[in-house]
């Protein structure tokens, strides 16, 4: 499955340290609120595989 929505990897600096984020941008502007996906500190964003893309498609965010 190919990603339909482009994404960007970013590091966010907080008072407790840095946090890795991956942000999928919708192909069209939307007024829908974002969906946040969290995983434990021992995992990585690649473990989500195609789930974020499927979630975007199922909730009309692409």
Question: Is 1 a domain residue?
Answer: no
pLDDT given for residue 4 in this prediction = 58
Question: Is 2 a domain residue?
Answer: no
Contacts of 10 (CB under 8 A, 6+ apart): 20, 21, 22, 23
Which SS3 state, helix, strand or coil, does residue 45 take?
A: helix
Domain that residue 34 falls in: 7-58
The dihedral built from the CA positions of residue 58, 32, 7 and 47, taken in this order, carries a sign that is negative
pLDDT band, very low/low/confident/very high, at 3 (cuts 50, 70, 90): very low
For 48, phi then psi, to 5°, come to -70, -20
pLDDT given for residue 5 in this prediction = 66
Question: Is 23 a domain residue?
Answer: yes
Tally the domains of the chain: 1
Question: Is 37 a domain residue?
Answer: yes
- How much is the pTM? 0.60
């Amino acid at each position: 499955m190919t990603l339909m929505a482009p994404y960007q990897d970013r590091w966010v600096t907080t008072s407790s340290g840095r946090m890795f984020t991956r942000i999928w941008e919708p192909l069209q502007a939307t007024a829908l609120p974002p969906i946040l996906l969290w995983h434990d500190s021992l995992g990585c964003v690649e473990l989500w595989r195609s789930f974020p893309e499927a979630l975007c498609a199922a909730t009309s965010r692409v």
